[in-house]
């Protein structure tokens, strides 16, 4: 029997800030988006820069796995749509 002695400690404030910045950078967000304290303009910018990319990758992956190569060359494909009109506020529609 060998006793394992391991000292544990919490991360320092600087380490936590670094980890948060790495998390935000990896997902293309900022603190306001993470805490849901964002404006409509911030969300639109996030959607157009990050979510559209995920939409394209998601669509390509579905088509690659669902259809055979022959079916894809014959033009068969599934289309994926995310409509920004569903996310527009009433104020923007009125203006």
Residues 3-31 pLDDT 10s: 888 888 888 999 999 999 999 998 888 89
- 66 with 78: CB under 8 angstroms? yes
Please give the Cα distance from 23 to 29 (Å, whole number).
Answer: 8
Locate 54 and state its tokens.
């995920």
Alpha helical stretches, state H, 1-95:
13-27, 31-34, 40-46, 52-66, 69-73, 90-94
Higher-scoring residue by pLDDT: 64, 51: 64
Number of other residues whose CB lies within 10 A of the CB of residue 58: 13
Report the range of poorest mean pLDDT among 8-17, 31-40, 86-95.
86-95
């Amino acid at each position: 029997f060998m006793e394992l002695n391991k000292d544990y400690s919490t991360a320092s404030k600087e380490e936590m800030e670094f980890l948060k910045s790495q998390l935000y950078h990896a997902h293309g967000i900022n603190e306001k988006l993470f805490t849901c304290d964002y404006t409509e303009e911030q969300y639109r910018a996030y959607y157009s820069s990050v979510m559209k990319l995920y939409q394209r990758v998601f669509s390509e992956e579905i088509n690659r796995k669902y259809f055979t190569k022959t079916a894809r060359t014959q033009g068969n494909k599934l289309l994926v749509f995310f409509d920004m009109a569903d996310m527009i506020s009433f104020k923007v529609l009125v203006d």
